[in-house]
Protein backbone atom coordinates (compact mmCIF):
# COMPACT_ATOMS: atom_id res chain seq x y z
CA UNK A 1 0.00 0.00 0.00
CA UNK A 2 1.37 3.34 -1.03
CA UNK A 3 1.02 6.45 1.09
CA UNK A 4 -0.15 8.15 -2.10
CA UNK A 5 -2.98 5.65 -2.73
CA UNK A 6 -5.76 7.40 -4.64
CA UNK A 7 -8.28 4.53 -4.59
CA UNK A 8 -10.11 3.46 -1.44
CA UNK A 9 -11.77 0.06 -1.02
CA UNK A 10 -13.30 0.36 2.49
CA UNK A 11 -14.91 -3.12 2.44
CA UNK A 12 -12.20 -5.10 0.66
CA UNK A 13 -13.01 -8.52 2.12
CA UNK A 14 -10.73 -11.02 0.40
CA UNK A 15 -10.27 -8.64 -2.58
CA UNK A 16 -12.12 -11.11 -4.81
CA UNK A 17 -12.65 -8.92 -7.86
CA UNK A 18 -9.24 -7.20 -7.87
CA UNK A 19 -6.87 -8.39 -10.61
CA UNK A 20 -3.90 -7.25 -8.49
CA UNK A 21 -4.80 -7.90 -4.86
CA UNK A 22 -1.82 -5.77 -3.78
CA UNK A 23 -2.32 -2.85 -6.19
CA UNK A 24 -0.27 0.00 -4.74
CA UNK A 25 -2.73 2.60 -6.05
CA UNK A 26 -5.37 1.28 -3.63
CA UNK A 27 -5.82 1.38 0.12
CA UNK A 28 -7.64 -1.77 1.23
CA UNK A 29 -9.78 -1.45 4.35
CA UNK A 30 -12.24 -3.67 6.18
CA UNK A 31 -13.78 -3.95 9.63
CA UNK A 32 -12.58 -7.57 9.71
CA UNK A 33 -9.08 -9.09 9.80
CA UNK A 34 -9.54 -12.85 9.75
CA UNK A 35 -8.78 -16.15 8.03
CA UNK A 36 -11.14 -19.06 7.30
CA UNK A 37 -10.45 -22.53 5.95
CA UNK A 38 -13.19 -23.44 3.49
CA UNK A 39 -14.66 -26.94 3.20
CA UNK A 40 -12.48 -27.74 0.17
CA UNK A 41 -9.31 -26.71 2.03
CA UNK A 42 -8.89 -23.29 0.40
CA UNK A 43 -8.05 -20.44 2.73
CA UNK A 44 -10.13 -17.25 2.65
CA UNK A 45 -8.13 -14.30 3.97
CA UNK A 46 -9.56 -10.92 4.90
CA UNK A 47 -6.39 -8.88 5.46
CA UNK A 48 -6.96 -5.14 5.08
CA UNK A 49 -4.14 -2.60 5.03
CA UNK A 50 -6.17 -0.63 7.58
CA UNK A 51 -8.98 -1.76 9.88
CA UNK A 52 -11.88 0.63 9.24
CA UNK A 53 -15.63 0.93 9.51
CA UNK A 54 -17.23 2.20 6.29
CA UNK A 55 -19.76 4.14 8.41
CA UNK A 56 -17.00 6.38 9.82
CA UNK A 57 -13.96 6.53 7.53
CA UNK A 58 -10.70 7.82 9.10
CA UNK A 59 -9.83 10.19 6.24
CA UNK A 60 -10.16 13.87 5.42
CA UNK A 61 -12.83 14.96 2.95
CA UNK A 62 -11.90 14.92 -0.75
CA UNK A 63 -8.98 12.49 -0.28
CA UNK A 64 -9.53 9.84 -2.97
CA UNK A 65 -10.04 9.94 -6.74
CA UNK A 66 -11.99 6.69 -6.65
CA UNK A 67 -13.86 4.70 -4.04
CA UNK A 68 -14.90 1.09 -4.57
CA UNK A 69 -17.86 0.41 -2.27
CA UNK A 70 -18.76 -3.28 -1.99
CA UNK A 71 -20.42 -3.56 1.44
CA UNK A 72 -21.82 -6.78 2.88
CA UNK A 73 -25.14 -7.62 1.24
CA UNK A 74 -26.44 -10.33 3.57
CA UNK A 75 -29.10 -9.68 6.21
CA UNK A 76 -29.19 -13.34 7.20
CA UNK A 77 -26.66 -16.18 7.05
CA UNK A 78 -25.61 -18.99 9.34
CA UNK A 79 -23.21 -18.01 12.12
CA UNK A 80 -20.48 -20.34 10.82
CA UNK A 81 -21.52 -20.29 7.16
CA UNK A 82 -19.16 -19.89 4.21
CA UNK A 83 -21.37 -17.06 2.89
CA UNK A 84 -20.98 -15.08 6.12
CA UNK A 85 -17.20 -15.66 6.15
CA UNK A 86 -16.85 -14.66 2.50
CA UNK A 87 -19.15 -11.63 2.37
CA UNK A 88 -19.62 -10.43 5.95
CA UNK A 89 -22.98 -9.47 7.41
CA UNK A 90 -25.14 -6.38 7.66
CA UNK A 91 -26.43 -5.33 11.06
CA UNK A 92 -30.13 -5.23 11.90
CA UNK A 93 -29.93 -1.46 11.25
CA UNK A 94 -28.59 -2.04 7.72
CA UNK A 95 -30.48 0.87 6.12
CA UNK A 96 -28.85 3.43 8.42
CA UNK A 97 -25.47 1.66 8.14
CA UNK A 98 -25.56 1.83 4.34
CA UNK A 99 -26.90 5.41 4.36
CA UNK A 100 -23.87 6.37 6.48
CA UNK A 101 -21.61 4.28 4.24
CA UNK A 102 -22.71 6.09 1.10
CA UNK A 103 -22.34 9.47 2.83
CA UNK A 104 -18.83 8.61 4.04
CA UNK A 105 -17.72 7.26 0.65
CA UNK A 106 -18.89 10.43 -1.08
CA UNK A 107 -17.34 12.60 1.65
CA UNK A 108 -13.83 11.16 1.15
CA UNK A 109 -14.18 11.22 -2.65
CA UNK A 110 -12.76 14.21 -4.53
CA UNK A 111 -15.27 16.43 -6.36
CA UNK A 112 -16.07 14.72 -9.67
CA UNK A 113 -14.39 11.56 -8.32
CA UNK A 114 -15.75 8.14 -9.23
CA UNK A 115 -17.54 5.74 -6.90
CA UNK A 116 -17.93 2.15 -8.09
CA UNK A 117 -20.70 0.41 -6.16
CA UNK A 118 -21.30 -3.36 -6.20
CA UNK A 119 -24.41 -4.99 -4.78
CA UNK A 120 -25.96 -8.45 -4.84
CA UNK A 121 -29.73 -8.20 -4.46
CA UNK A 122 -30.39 -11.74 -3.25
CA UNK A 123 -31.71 -10.43 0.10
CA UNK A 124 -32.08 -6.65 -0.39
CA UNK A 125 -33.32 -5.06 -3.61
CA UNK A 126 -31.21 -2.53 -5.50
CA UNK A 127 -34.10 -0.03 -5.38
CA UNK A 128 -33.95 -0.11 -1.57
CA UNK A 129 -30.21 0.63 -1.73
CA UNK A 130 -30.34 3.49 -4.21
CA UNK A 131 -32.95 5.19 -2.00
CA UNK A 132 -30.25 5.53 0.71
CA UNK A 133 -28.25 8.20 -1.16
CA UNK A 134 -29.19 11.39 -2.97
CA UNK A 135 -26.40 10.77 -5.49
CA UNK A 136 -27.61 9.25 -8.76
CA UNK A 137 -25.66 6.59 -10.67
CA UNK A 138 -24.43 7.37 -14.17
CA UNK A 139 -24.82 3.80 -15.40
CA UNK A 140 -24.77 0.22 -14.23
CA UNK A 141 -24.58 -3.41 -15.24
CA UNK A 142 -26.12 -6.68 -14.05
CA UNK A 143 -23.92 -9.75 -13.90
CA UNK A 144 -23.87 -13.33 -12.69
CA UNK A 145 -25.85 -16.41 -13.64
CA UNK A 146 -29.09 -14.93 -12.36
CA UNK A 147 -28.09 -11.30 -12.89
CA UNK A 148 -28.40 -10.60 -9.16
CA UNK A 149 -25.07 -8.74 -8.91
CA UNK A 150 -25.24 -5.09 -9.93
CA UNK A 151 -22.36 -2.73 -10.62
CA UNK A 152 -23.02 1.02 -10.57
CA UNK A 153 -20.81 3.97 -11.43
CA UNK A 154 -21.39 7.32 -9.73
CA UNK A 155 -19.56 10.63 -10.15
CA UNK A 156 -19.52 12.91 -7.11
CA UNK A 157 -21.08 16.25 -7.83
CA UNK A 158 -18.63 19.14 -8.15
CA UNK A 159 -18.46 21.56 -5.24
CA UNK A 160 -20.69 24.60 -5.73
Phi, psi of 59 (to 5 degrees): -135, 155
**Residue range(s) defining the domain that contains residue 58:** 7-155
Name which of 32, 12, 33, 34 is nearest 23 in CA terms. Answer: 12
Whole-model pTM: value is 0.91
The span from the CA of 71 to the CA of 128, in Å, is: 14
Domain-located, residue 48: yes
Domain-located, residue 160: no
Domain-located, residue 144: yes
pLDDT value, residue 91: 84
Domain-located, residue 2: no
Domain-located, residue 147: yes
Query: What is the count of structural domains for the chain?
Result: 1
Residues 6+ apart with CB under 8 A from 20: none
Q: In the chain, count of helices (H) and strands (E)?
A: 3, 9
Any idea what the CATH number is for the domain that residue 91 is in?
3.40.50.150
pLDDT value, residue 2: 56
Profile the chain (160 residues) by mean pLDDT over runs of 10 residues: 82 94 96 87 91 97 97 83 78 94 98 96 92 96 85 91
Domain-located, residue 1: no
Amino acid sequence: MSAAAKILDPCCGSRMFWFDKDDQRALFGDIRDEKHVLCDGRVLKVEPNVIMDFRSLPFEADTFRMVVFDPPHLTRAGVDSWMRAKYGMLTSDWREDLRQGFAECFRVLEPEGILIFKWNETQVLVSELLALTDQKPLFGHKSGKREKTHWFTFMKRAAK
